[in-house]
Structure 1
Amino acid sequence: MSSIPLRLVQGSVPKSSGPRPLEAVLQNKSLYPVFQPIVKLDDGSVYAHEALIRGPQGTALHTPDALLRAADEEGLGYAFETACVRATLRSWGRMQTAGRLFVNVSAEALITAYEGRGQQGLLDWIQDFHVTPRMLVLEITEHERVDNMDRLAEVVQEVRAAGLALALDDFGDGRSSLRLWSQIKPEVVKIDKYFTRNISAHGDKLKTIQALQHIATIFGTALVAEGIETAEDLRVLRDVGIEYGQGYFLGRPDAVPLQWLPALPKQVLQERQVAVFPELGRLSQGGHLRSLSLVRAPTVSPETHNDTLARIFLDNSTLHAVAVVEGERPVGIINRAHFMNEYSKLYYREVWGRKPCVVHANMEPRLIEREHSVDELVGILTSQDQRYLSDGFIATDNGRYVGIGTGDQLVRSVTETRIEAARHANPLTFLPGNIPITQHIERLLKKQACFVACYADLNHFKPYNDYYGYWRGDEMIRLLARIAMEQCDAQRDFLGHVGGDDFILLFQSEDWRARCERLVAEFGERARALFDENARQAGGIEAEDRHGVRRFFPCTTLSIGAVVVDGHQFTRAEDVANLAAMAKHDAKLSPTGLHETVLA
C-alpha cells in the first residue's frame, strides 16, 4: 500500500446503479503488490521488502494516489486496507521469499482488525497465507491524528506479543509524532525522505539525522532512511551509521522481490572512500551564554532607601552594583562607585538617607537573557556607551532576574565562547575547524581508507599582513579558501581551516597532485592582485622581519606539504596531522611549492 494514510470513512454513501470504480476493483480482486527492497547499509544485503499496492494496469486506478482518493470518495477505507493486506500476503506467501515483509496499515485499521478478530484470529488469518508472523512488520502509516493513542498502544502490545514487529513510517514529516514513537516503541522507524534527499549537500539535514539517531538509541529503535536516490546521499547515510536504506538508487518497486543488490549501489557500499559530510552554511559564531558566571547579588526595589542600599554595599565589599527589581522584573542598575561617591558627601545622609535610591539608578540597564548568543552581545563591547562595561549587566531567564555580572566577565565569556565556536567552524572562512578536521581524519582511519593529507601554508604572509593591515590579510586568507574550494571535489575531498593562514586538505581524489599544483599556481597568480602596483613591479615589499630587521620579502605564495596515507598504518588523527605539518616545512624549501612525503 502507499505510504499515504487513509481514514476509515463513516456514514452512508449514495447508492448507484452499479458498483463504483474501486468497489469493482475490490470485487474483482484486481489489486496486486509490488515490492521495494530495504537494504542493510553495512554489508549491502537485502534485509526486507516493503509492499506497495497497485491497481489494474492501464486504468485510472493503477497508481496508489488514485486508489486512495477513490477509497476516500467511495467510503471504502477499511475494506480497501483489508484488500491491500490480503493481496500482499497472498502474493508473498506464494513466492516464499526470504527476509521480512513490511506491510502498510493505518492505526485505525489495525485497531479495527484486532478488535474484530482478536490476537489469535489475526495470527490464524496471516498463517492461512503461509506467511510467518515473526517475519511480518506492520508499518504504521498514520498521517491523521491518532484519536486514541492509549488504545493503539494496547493493541500494539498484543500484536507484538503474537510475534509481529512494528514500524513507524515517514517520521519527521510533521504528522508522525515523537509521542507515537515513544508510546508504541516500534522496532523500526523510517525517516521521511525530506531529510535524506540531497543530504550530501545540506548540513542541517545531516544534523537532524544525527539527532534522530540519538533518540533511536534511547528507544532501542533501528532506523531506515527512505528516499535514497544518489550515490552521494548513500555514502553520507552509510558513513553516519544509518542501519537500513530504501530508495530508487538501491532498488525500484517490482513484482518480483530483489534477491541481490545491483552492482552500482553495492560498489558504493563496499568502497573505502569516506563521504565528506556537509557543513552548516554559516555556523553561529557564538552559541548561548548559559555558562556565564553570575553574582547572586541582593536586589533593591525602587522604594528602597539610600541608607539601606549603603548597608548592602558595605556588607558586600566585592559587589560592583545592585539591580533594581519590581517583582521579578529588573528595571534598573545602581553602580557601587557612583552611589558611594554621592553617599559620602557632606550632609548627604541627613538629607537623602531616607529617600528612595532609584534616583541613582541607570534605568536603561543592559539585560542579557541566558539564551542570548555571542553575536547579540558583541555590540555591548563595541558600544560608545561604556556604562554597560562599568555598571555590568543584569542576567535574566525569561525576563526574570537571576543575577548580575561585570564587564570583565562579559568580555571573558564572549572570548571563550568564540574560541570554542572557532574549533568547529572558522569565523573568517566558515570552513570546518579543528574538531571537524579531526573527526574526518578519524573516520578515514576507521575505514582504513587511502587518502592524502595536505597542509597548506602561506609564504611571507606576516610581512604582508603587517604592511597592508589585518583587513587585507583577511582578504588574502579568504582568497586562499575560495581557490582551495574550487580545487576540491566536494564529494571526495575535505577542506578545513586550522586557523590563521593554515589549511588542511584531505584528498580522496586520485588526481590530488594535479589539484595541488593548480592550487599553488592559481593562488600565486591571483594573490599578486592584492599587492599595490609598485610591489608587483618589484616582486615584493620592504618590511620588518620577526626580529625587527627591515628587509625585502617576495610576494606571498603558497606551500603544500602532502603525505600519502594508508589507513592501515595509523590509528590517531594527531599522527596524520603532525606528518602533514612536517611535510609543509619541506614544501617551503621546494621550488615548486609542493612536497610529497613518502612513508616507508
Structure 2
Amino acid sequence: MTALRATPAGNWQSAADIPWTLARVLAEGALHPVFQPIVRLADGAVTAHECLMRGPAGTPLQMPDAMFAAARTEGLLIELEIACVRAGILAWSRQAMKGKLFVNISGAALVEALTRHDVTDLLRVLRGIRVSPESLVFELTEHDRVADMPALLAAVARLRACGVQIALDDFGDGCSSLRLWTEVKPNIVKIDKFFARDIGDHGEKVQMLDALLRLAASLGTSVIVEGIETDVELRVIRDLGVAYGQGYFFGRPAPLVVRAIDADARRELDSTEIAVLPEVGRAVHSDFRVERMLMRAPAVSPDTSHQTVAVMFQADESLHSIAIVEDGAPVGMLNRERFFDQYAKPYFKELYGRKPCTLFAHMSPLTLDRYTGIETLTQVLTSEDQRYLTEGFIITEGGKYLGVSTGEQLVRAVTEIRIEAARHANPLTFLPGNIPISQHIARLLASGNDFVACYGDLNHFKPFNDYYGYWQGDEMIRLVASVFVAHCDARRDFVGHVGGDDFVVVFQSQDWATRCADIIDDFNAKARSLFDAEALKRGGIEAEDRDGMMRFFGFTTLSIGAVRVRGGQYTQPEQVASAAALAKHKAKLETRGLYLEEAA
C-alpha cells in the first residue's frame, strides 16, 4: 500500500512524489552508513573501519557530495554532520564489531555538537548501545581555516579525556592541514589518496611520503595512507614503513563490516619481495648558491691610483683580484696577474703610477648575485666569454658589492655538483646511479630475501667508441639501458647505471636467467645496427687496442655476471657489488656471455 502524505495546501499525495530534500532525509532518518576497512600492513589484520554515509538509494541525494551540497544550500550542514555521526555509531553497534570506528566530522560541527550536548550525554548514549569511547576516532575533515581554534582545541580535549581519539583526515589536501596537525596534535593522521595514486611511478611522492612519515614519528602520530587501489601501490607504501592502509584494494565501502581482507590483498602482504622504489629526477645540491664561493676582498674607487693598487696586491699575496666600486656598485675589476703584467713594463710606474686604476682595468667584469643557482653557473661555465676563468668574477647582493671569486672555484663547484648528481641518476641514461643502487641492495639485505645481483659490461666497447666517436658511443650506452629496462619487471627488478658501459640489475624475478639470456641476445642483435656497412661486411672494425696497437675487433657484445645472494649471506651492499663485479669478469670469458657465481 502506497503511503500518503498531506501537502502544505492540505492535499494528499504519494510519498514517492515528494521531492527529496536534505530536510526530508534528516526527518525520515534516511541516512545509510557504509563501512570501509582499515588494515594493519604488518600482518593484514583489519583493525578499524571508517564510516561513510549514503543518502536514499536511487535519489539525487544518494552520494555524499550531493547530500552535503544540499545541506549547504538548505543551511543544514551542522545538522547533517551530527546526524551522520549518530547514524554511523548506531549501525556499528548493531554489528558488534571489534576494533575502532572512524567517524567524519568538521571542527565546526564538533564544537557545535559539544555545545548542544555535554560529553556525559555522549557517554550515556554509548553505554546504552554498548560502544566504548576508546573504540571511537573522530576524524576531522576541516579543509578551510578553522574559525575558532581555541573552541576546537577545548572540544578535542574533552573528547580525549573520556578516551575518544582524534584523527586528521586527508592530510595534504587542505590549506590548514599542517596547522591542524601542529595545534590539535592528532593521535592519527590519514594521508590523502593523492600520494598513494600511482606512487610506484612517482619518485616525488615517495620522497614526500617518506618525509611525512619522519614528521609523524617525531610527533608520535600514527599514519594511515588512504586510496590504496593496486598491488604496486600497496607494496611501495608498505616498504616505506607505513603502518596502516585503506582503499579499494582492501575493500570498498559496504553496509556490512569485514573481518578479514580478501585473498589478493593477503597474498600481496604476505609476499617477501620488496618494491622497486621510483627515483626522483633530483638536482643534487639544488640549493647551491654562488655565495658559497664568496671571498671577502677589498674594493677601490675608480680614482684610486695604480700605485695604491700595487701596494694592496703586494701586501696580500692571496689577493686574486680587486673590484672597482662606485656608490657601492661594482664597475670594474683588477686581476692580479693582468695588473702586474702591465705594472712591470718599463716606465709604467713613471707614466701611469699616479693615474686612475680604471685605465687598464676590465670595465665589464662578470657579475653574479649571491643567490645565483647552479643552473645559471653552468650556463656561465659554457658561455663564449671565458675571461672570467683567469680574471675571476664579482659577487653582489641587490647590485651592491659583496666580494669576489675565481674561475677555478666556479669550475670546481660545478664539476663536484655534477659528479654528485651522476651518483644519483646517470645523466646519459637517466637510470639510478651508485647511491640508489646501494640503497636498494641494502633494503634487500635487510629484508633477508634471496635475490640475484647482475653486473653487465660491454665487450669491445672502447674500440667502437674510439672508431665511431663518443656520439655513437653514447647511442650504444643508451641501447644497453633500453634493452635492460625492456626485459626486466619494473615491479620486481632494479636497473641501475654505474657509469660508462657498466650496469647493475638486481633481480627478484624468479626467471632471471631467462631474462638475462634474452637481454644478451637482444642487445647483441641490435648493436650491429650501430656499425657501418663495411664493418658489417667484415664482421668488425680495425682499431687501436689498449697498448696502442692496431688490431681487428668483432662486434660489440654484452656480458652479464650474476651472483645469487642468499638471505644472511652478506651484510653490506659493497660486498654484493664486489661479488657481482667478479662474476662479470668471469662472464667475459664465457662464450655465451652469462656466468652465475653460486654461493660457497
Task: Give the 5 Å matches for 1:20-35.
Answer: 21-35=21-35
Q: Work out the CA distance in 2 between the residues paired with 1:156 and 1:358.
A: 75
Q: Work out the CA distance in 1 between the residues paired with 2:359 and 2:223.
A: 60
1:158 aligns with 158
1:227 aligns with 227
**1:548 is the counterpart of 2:542:** no
2:238 aligns with 238
Q: Work out the CA distance in 2 between the residues paired with 1:331 and 1:83.
A: 73
Structure 1 counterpart SS, 2:255:
coil
Deviates more, 1:257-266 or 1:113-122: 113-122
**1:436 is the counterpart of 2:436:** yes
User: In 2 relative to 1, CA 60–588 (structure 1 residues): closer, same or farther, beyond 3 Å?
Assistant: same
Q: Work out the CA distance in 2 between the residues paired with 1:305 and 1:135.
A: 84
2:15 aligns with none
Task: Give the 5 Å matches for 1:576-595.
Answer: 576-595=576-595
Given that 2:307 and 2:349 are in contact with CA atoms closer than 8 Å, whether structure 1 keeps it comes out as no
**1:43 is the counterpart of 2:37:** no
1:455 aligns with 455
Task: Give the 5 Å matches for 1:196-595.
Answer: 196-280=196-280, 282-284=281-283, 287-290=286-289, 292-300=292-300, 309-324=309-324, 332-341=332-341, 346=347, 353=354, 355=356, 357=358, 360-367=361-368, 369-370=370-371, 372-373=373-374, 375-396=375-396, 402-595=402-595
Structure 2 counterpart of 1:238, which letter? Answer: R
Given that 2:167 and 2:189 are in contact with CA atoms closer than 8 Å, whether structure 1 keeps it comes out as yes
Given that 2:564 and 2:599 are in contact with CA atoms closer than 8 Å, whether structure 1 keeps it comes out as yes
Q: Work out the CA distance in 2 between the residues paired with 1:496 and 1:526.
A: 20
Given that 1:170 and 1:176 are in contact with CA atoms closer than 8 Å, whether structure 2 keeps it comes out as no
Deviates more, 1:249-258 or 1:158-167: 158-167
Q: CA deviation at 1:371?
A: 5.4
Q: 1:163-211: CA deviations, max 9, x gaps?
A: 2221111111243432221121212111111111011111122122122
User: In 2 relative to 1, CA 62–337 (structure 1 residues): closer, same or farther, beyond 3 Å?
Assistant: same
Given that 1:535 and 1:541 are in contact with CA atoms closer than 8 Å, whether structure 2 keeps it comes out as yes
Q: CA deviation at 1:589?
A: 1.2
User: In 2 relative to 1, CA 82–329 (structure 1 residues): closer, same or farther, beyond 3 Å?
Assistant: farther
Deviates more, 1:388-397 or 1:406-415: 388-397
Structure 2 counterpart of 1:379, which letter? Answer: Q
Structure 2 counterpart SS, 1:50:
strand
Structure 2 counterpart of 1:135, which letter? Answer: S
Structure 1 counterpart SS, 2:117:
helix
User: In 2 relative to 1, CA 598–406 (structure 1 residues): closer, same or farther, beyond 3 Å?
Assistant: same
Given that 2:324 and 2:331 are in contact with CA atoms closer than 8 Å, whether structure 1 keeps it comes out as yes
Tell me the matched-pair count: 584
Q: Work out the CA distance in 2 between the residues paired with 1:39 and 1:302.
A: 74
Q: Work out the CA distance in 2 between the residues paired with 1:171 and 1:93.
A: 28
User: In 2 relative to 1, CA 91–333 (structure 1 residues): closer, same or farther, beyond 3 Å?
Assistant: farther
Q: Work out the CA distance in 1 between the residues paired with 2:113 and 2:357.
A: 75
Q: CA deviation at 1:104?
A: 0.6
User: In 2 relative to 1, CA 162–526 (structure 1 residues): closer, same or farther, beyond 3 Å?
Assistant: same
Task: Give the 5 Å matches for 1:62-141.
Answer: 62-141=62-141
Q: CA deviation at 1:347?
A: 7.0
**Aligned-pair identity (%):** 51
Q: When the two structures are superposed, what TM-score results if normalisation uses the length of structure 1?
A: 0.90
Given that 2:309 and 2:357 are in contact with CA atoms closer than 8 Å, whether structure 1 keeps it comes out as no
Q: 1:99-147: CA deviations, max 9, x gaps?
A: 1111111011112223333444444444444322222111111122212
Q: Work out the CA distance in 1 between the residues paired with 2:397 and 2:259.
A: 58
Q: CA deviation at 1:433?
A: 0.5
User: In 2 relative to 1, CA 371–445 (structure 1 residues): closer, same or farther, beyond 3 Å?
Assistant: farther
User: In 2 relative to 1, CA 482–347 (structure 1 residues): closer, same or farther, beyond 3 Å?
Assistant: closer
Q: CA deviation at 1:94?
A: 2.5
Given that 2:332 and 2:361 are in contact with CA atoms closer than 8 Å, whether structure 1 keeps it comes out as no
Q: Work out the CA distance in 2 between the residues paired with 1:468 and 1:94.
A: 78
Deviates more, 1:348-357 or 1:517-526: 348-357
Structure 2 counterpart of 1:365, which letter? Answer: L
Q: Work out the CA distance in 1 between the residues paired with 2:481 and 2:578.
A: 21
2:183 aligns with 183
Q: 1:381-432: CA deviations, max 9, x gaps?
A: 3333122212223345676655422111111111111111111111111100
User: In 2 relative to 1, CA 431–396 (structure 1 residues): closer, same or farther, beyond 3 Å?
Assistant: farther
Structure 1 counterpart SS, 2:170:
strand
Q: Work out the CA distance in 2 between the residues paired with 1:325 and 1:492.
A: 61
User: In 2 relative to 1, CA 349–41 (structure 1 residues): closer, same or farther, beyond 3 Å?
Assistant: farther
Q: Work out the CA distance in 2 between the residues paired with 1:349 and 1:145.
A: 75
Q: Work out the CA distance in 2 between the residues paired with 1:79 and 1:301.
A: 75
Structure 1 counterpart SS, 2:525:
helix
Structure 2 counterpart SS, 1:568:
coil
Q: CA deviation at 1:153?
A: 3.0
Q: Work out the CA distance in 2 between the residues paired with 1:319 and 1:493.
A: 55
CA RMSD in angstroms comes to 2.7
Given that 1:370 and 1:395 are in contact with CA atoms closer than 8 Å, whether structure 2 keeps it comes out as no
Given that 2:369 and 2:399 are in contact with CA atoms closer than 8 Å, whether structure 1 keeps it comes out as no
Structure 1 counterpart SS, 2:424:
coil
1:3 aligns with none
Q: CA deviation at 1:150?
A: 4.0
Q: Work out the CA distance in 2 between the residues paired with 1:370 and 1:209.
A: 29
Deviates more, 1:418-427 or 1:306-315: 306-315
Structure 1 counterpart of 2:288, which letter? Answer: L
Structure 1 counterpart of 2:198, which letter? Answer: N
Q: CA deviation at 1:488?
A: 1.0
User: In 2 relative to 1, CA 120–360 (structure 1 residues): closer, same or farther, beyond 3 Å?
Assistant: farther
Q: CA deviation at 1:490?
A: 1.0
Structure 2 counterpart SS, 1:360:
coil
Q: Work out the CA distance in 2 between the residues paired with 1:306 and 1:179.
A: 61
Q: Work out the CA distance in 2 between the residues paired with 1:226 and 1:301.
A: 64
Deviates more, 1:484-493 or 1:534-543: 534-543
5+ long unaligned stretches in structure 2 = 1-6, 10-17
Deviates more, 1:138-147 or 1:491-500: 138-147
Given that 1:342 and 1:348 are in contact with CA atoms closer than 8 Å, whether structure 2 keeps it comes out as no
Deviates more, 1:493-502 or 1:557-566: 557-566
Structure 1 counterpart of 2:363, which letter? Answer: N
User: In 2 relative to 1, CA 351–16 (structure 1 residues): closer, same or farther, beyond 3 Å?
Assistant: farther
